[in-house]
Amino acid sequence: MTIDWWLNPTQPLDSVARDKAAACQAQLTKPAGSLGELERLAVHLAALQGRERPQVDKVWIAIFAGDHGVVAEGVSAYPQAVTGQMLRNFVTGGAAISVLASQLGAALEVTDLGTAEPLEPLPGVRHLQVGAGTANLMREAAMTPAQALIALQAGRDSVLRAVEQRHELFIGGEMGIGNTTAATALACVLLGCPVGELVGPGTGLAAAGVAHKAQVIETALKLHQGAVEHPIEALRCLGGFEIAALTGAYLACAQQGVVALVDGFICSVAALLAVRLNPACRDWLLFSHQSAEPGHQRLLAALQATPIVSLGLRLGEGSGAALVVPMLRLACALHNGMATFSEAAVADRPA
């Protein structure tokens, strides 16, 4: 299977803006390095945005939803219908991400890529219906090549809309009961890691449920063994519509020059896929938090990512990334707003 756009070059970082921002940080009225990761974030944002004074005022949050055939194997604590039910909750304002988007003044775009429900179109939701959910990845390939391609492009298209409306930060979120099973299977293949090291409770499986989920993933990995060497084939055989869309979105962010703030475990699997497909896109990804899902730590290490916070979150929907936006905004405000030593007449070196 080929798609024609994933290898397109990513935007270069602006080293002039980075150097100016770093020089500016050194002049601010604080001991050098005392704002730690916030300093590094501000300087990195300057390099990505090509301006000495970065900002993340306009935030675009895109939620991608899709159902998973593998739910028939009993891998989630919740029923499949929740995926479609949450679509309504996203647009009526009751979901965690809806509250966060509203608090942040962020745009929230909700795309249904293929759910068993709702049967009626929902106002405010983009219904693409790539299929009525993926096929059961334990028994066959989750997606056809055409479905994987459409889902990848759905992610890219959302980024193009964000760019058109001049958004400064992209957050991808996912909703899909069963998607920690798909994400774990993908992570096992991409990291060459045993299932036991990555599998976790997802929405809240007890130990016996996690053991069964591990068995399902083992069976799937054996079935698709030969097929999954290329990341795009791994995505097609083991992924989900929303994971494919997120992969396409992260690739497009790097190609369009938009900073992407990555959410938890599932989004990080999509990020790793994007980096495997086009390694230069790594620079454009910031990692917001470390999820409670046990496999996330290994994924972040493979991506050489330092998560900004670790709050024991295990929700998804892009919620962890949204929670970190105020911190990015404050990192920019400090960088742009603090006085320099000479402006404030403060001694600029230790005694």
Ligand X SMILES: Cc1cc2ncn([C@H]3O[C@H](COP(=O)(O)O)[C@@H](O)[C@H]3O)c2cc1C
Ligand Y SMILES: O=C(O)c1cccnc1
- Residues with catalytic roles: 317
Choose among ligand X, ligand Y, none what residue 177 binds, the Cβ cut-off being 5 to 8 Å by kind.
ligand X
Q: Which is nearer to ligand Y, 187 or 332 (CB)?
A: 187
Q: Which is nearer to ligand Y, 81 or 338 (CB)?
A: 81
Q: Which is nearer to ligand X, 49 or 136 (CB)?
A: 136
In the list 69, 231, 316, 318, the residue contacting ligand Y (rule: CB under 6 A) is 316
SS3 (DSSP) at 260: strand
Q: Which is nearer to ligand X, 28 or 75 (CB)?
A: 75
Please tell me what DSSP assigns to residue 311: -
**Under rule CB under 6 A, which residues in 116-145 are in contact with ligand Y?**
none
Choose among ligand X, ligand Y, none what residue 133 binds, the Cβ cut-off being 5 to 8 Å by kind.
none
Only one residue has tokens 């007890």, namely: 206
Which among 276, 275, 279, 284 is positioned nearest to 257, based on CA atoms? 284
* Segment near ligand Y (CB under 6 A); pick from 57-65, 110-118, 216-224, 310-318: 310-318
Choose among ligand X, ligand Y, none what residue 73 binds, the Cβ cut-off being 5 to 8 Å by kind.
none
**Under rule CB under 6 A, which residues in 183-202 are in contact with ligand Y?**
202
Q: What are the helix (H) ranges across the chain? A: 15-27, 36-49, 81-92, 96-104, 145-164, 179-191, 195-198, 207-223, 231-238, 241-256, 265-277, 296-302, 319-337, 341-344
- Which residues neighbour 139 within 8 Å (Cβ) at sequence distance 6 or greater? 223
Nearest distance, CB of residue 174 and ligand X, angstroms: 5
Phi and psi of 76, rounded to 5°? -125, 150
Alpha carbon distances (Å) from 290 to 3, 60, 151, 263, 264: 31, 21, 26, 9, 6
Alpha carbon distances (Å) from 108 to 34, 101, 105, 346: 35, 6, 9, 44
Tokens (6 digits) for 34: 């005392």
Choose among ligand X, ligand Y, none what residue 293 binds, the Cβ cut-off being 5 to 8 Å by kind.
ligand Y
* Segment near ligand Y (CB under 6 A); pick from 2-10, 58-66, 71-79, 313-321: 313-321
**Under rule CB under 6 A, which residues in 240-279 are in contact with ligand Y?**
263-266
Nearest distance, CB of residue 182 and ligand X, angstroms: 8
Q: Closest residue (Cβ) to ligand X?
A: 202
* Interacting residues toward ligand X by CB under 6 A: 76-78, 82, 86, 174-181, 202-203, 315-317
Q: Which is nearer to ligand Y, 147 or 181 (CB)?
A: 181
Q: How far apart are CA 217 and CA 206, in angstroms?
A: 17
SS3 (DSSP) at 267: helix
Q: How many residues bind ligand Y (CB under 6 A)?
A: 12
Choose among ligand Y, ligand X, none what residue 264 binds, the Cβ cut-off being 5 to 8 Å by kind.
ligand Y
Query: What is the biggest distance separating any 2 CA atoms in the chain, rounded to whole angstroms?
Result: 71
Determine how many CB atoms are found less than 10 A away from the CB of residue 344.
Answer: 11
Q: Give the footprint of ligand Y on this chain (CB under 6 A).
A: 180, 202-203, 263-266, 291, 293, 314-316
